[in-house]
């Protein structure tokens, strides 16, 4: 049994993007209730704190950070067609980042084995100078900066299994060889980025790995992709930390997406990443909530990930045949990225 840190705060519920919005406070309420009901052993509460201006400015333009801070004084501010704030949004967004940084700190010290930041608003669409797709600050991107600047880690792997491509995270590290961004996502789909050929620039070429998928990918497809691409890429990169943009909108019943992942599938996907963390970086892994709009699928998926984090024996069950479309995408990714990863052609052995 390993201790699992949980970032949880009722102030996350005070970010209200407007009536009928899918990214509603009910999402975290469902997760918190499911966690309490499951009464999982080994969970440790992580204190939250508001991220500092300077920390946010590691990843965002200072004028943009100021702009978000200013939204705290108004009832509602529309940042983009999908993204609006209420009075509590700025505080929630700062707590989301700060809570994640605290979790990272505790994982670094070894006080907890892993952590899950159950926060909102989500972050992976947030750009350097713009809010986008329900996201204000890029939680995971700021955490990767923190890991390098404050904790002194040399290499950070970000795994993004959200339905959508994390355009903001990709942009943040597109020319930074110390942060590897790996994303599976429905494609073509919102936000439009995430083609295989987007693979980083300059010294960071090959450090962005996109696996764009048609609708309908199932549990076994994701496990196959992780085994065939992520594991060899991660083994070559040798990260000091794994950050996960955990989106549950790949769930089979999600109203925004077309993927077919089951609740059990999320535990299996997490098990692959936990295995990687154990073998490469002393178990250091921190999950952060991104999307997920089917409340039962979201809450059930989070509970499965937490069970996997406590190492209760859950595995990914290695025998999975991929669907033909997914196998073709995997071959394409291997062709395009093979030049940067000598072992990629072999996959997981
Ligand atoms: Zn999403």
Q: How far is the CA of 343 from the centre of ligand 1 (A)?
A: 30
Q: Within 13 A of 127's CA, how many CA atoms are on the CB side?
A: 11
Catalytic positions, please?
A: 125
Residue-wise pLDDT tens for the chain (349 aa)? 899 999 999 999 999 999 999 999 999 999 999 999 999 999 999 999 999 999 999 999 999 999 999 999 999 999 999 999 999 999 999 999 999 999 999 999 999 999 999 999 999 999 999 999 999 999 999 999 999 999 999 999 999 999 999 999 999 999 999 999 999 999 999 999 999 999 999 999 999 999 999 999 999 999 999 999 999 999 999 999 999 999 999 999 999 999 999 999 999 999 999 999 999 999 999 999 999 999 999 999 999 999 999 987 778 886 778 999 999 999 999 999 999 998 898 777 6
Q: How far is the CA of 139 from the centre of ligand 1 (A)?
A: 14
Q: How far is the CA of 317 from the centre of ligand 1 (A)?
A: 26
3-state secondary structure 152-219: CCCCEEEEECCCCCCHHHHHHCCCCCCEEEEEEEECCCCCCCCCCCCCCCHHHCCCEEEEEECCCCEH
Report whether 100 contacts 59 (CB < 8 A).
no
Q: Supply the pLDDT for residue 349.
A: 61
Q: Supply the pLDDT for residue 1.
A: 80
* Cis bond upstream, residue 188 (ω within 30): yes
Angle between helices 62-70 and 89-109 (to 10 degrees): 120
Report whether 119 contacts 144 (CB < 8 A).
no
Q: How far is the CA of 162 from the centre of ligand 1 (A)?
A: 5
Give me the residue spans of the domains in the chain.
4-346
Structure tokens at 346: 């072999």
Q: Supply the pLDDT for residue 311.
A: 80
pTM given for the model: 0.98
Distance CA 6, CA 169 (A): 23
Q: Supply the pLDDT for residue 111.
A: 96
Q: How far is the CA of 111 from the centre of ligand 1 (A)?
A: 31
Q: If you ran DSSP here, which 8-state letter would residue 266 be given?
A: H
CATH domain 4-346 topology: 3.40.800
Q: How far is the CA of 109 from the centre of ligand 1 (A)?
A: 31
* Cis bond upstream, residue 121 (ω within 30): yes
Report whether 151 contacts 108 (CB < 8 A).
yes
């Amino acid at each position: 049994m390993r201790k699992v840190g949980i970032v949880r705060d009722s102030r996350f519920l005070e970010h209200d993007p407007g009536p009928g919005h899918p990214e509603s406070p009910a999402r975290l309420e469902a997760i918190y209730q499911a966690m309490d009901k499951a009464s999982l052993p080994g969970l440790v509460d992580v204190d939250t704190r508001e991220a500092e201006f300077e920390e946010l400015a590691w990843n965002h333009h200072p004028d943009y950070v100021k702009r978000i801070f200013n939204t705290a004084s108004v009832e509602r501010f529309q940042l983009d067609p999908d993204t609006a704030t209420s009075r509590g949004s700025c505080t929630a967004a700062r707590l989301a980042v700060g809570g994640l940084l605290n979790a990272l700190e505790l994982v670094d010290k070894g006080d907890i084995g892993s952590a899950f930041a159950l926060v909102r608003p989500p972050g992976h669409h947030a750009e350097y100078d713009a809010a986008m797709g329900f996201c204000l600050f890029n939680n995971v991107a700021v955490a990767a900066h923190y890991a390098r600047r404050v904790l002194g880690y040399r290499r950070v792997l970000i795994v993004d299994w959200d339905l959508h491509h994390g355009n903001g995270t990709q942009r943040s590290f597109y020319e930074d060889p110390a942060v590897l961004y790996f994303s599976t996502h429905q494609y073509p789909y919102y936000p439009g980025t995430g083609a295989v050929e987007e693979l980083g620039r300059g010294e960071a070429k090959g450090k962005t790995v996109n696996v764009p998928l048609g609708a309908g990918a199932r549990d076994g497809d994701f496990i196959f992709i992780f085994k065939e691409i992520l594991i060899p890429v991660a083994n070559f990169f040798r990260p000091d930390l794994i950050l996960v943009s955990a989106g549950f909108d790949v769930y089979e019943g999600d109203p925004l997406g077309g993927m077919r992942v089951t609740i059990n599938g999320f535990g299996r996907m997490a098990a692959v990443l936990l295995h990687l963390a154990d073998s490469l970086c002393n178990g250091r892994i921190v999950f952060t909530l991104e999307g997920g709009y089917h409340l039962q699928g979201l809450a059930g998926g989070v509970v499965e990930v937490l069970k996997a984090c406590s190492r209760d024996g859950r595995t990914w069950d290695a025998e999975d045949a991929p669907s033909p479309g997914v196998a073709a995408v995997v071959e394409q990714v291997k062709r395009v990225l093979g030049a940067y990863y000598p072992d990629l052609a072999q996959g997981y052995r």
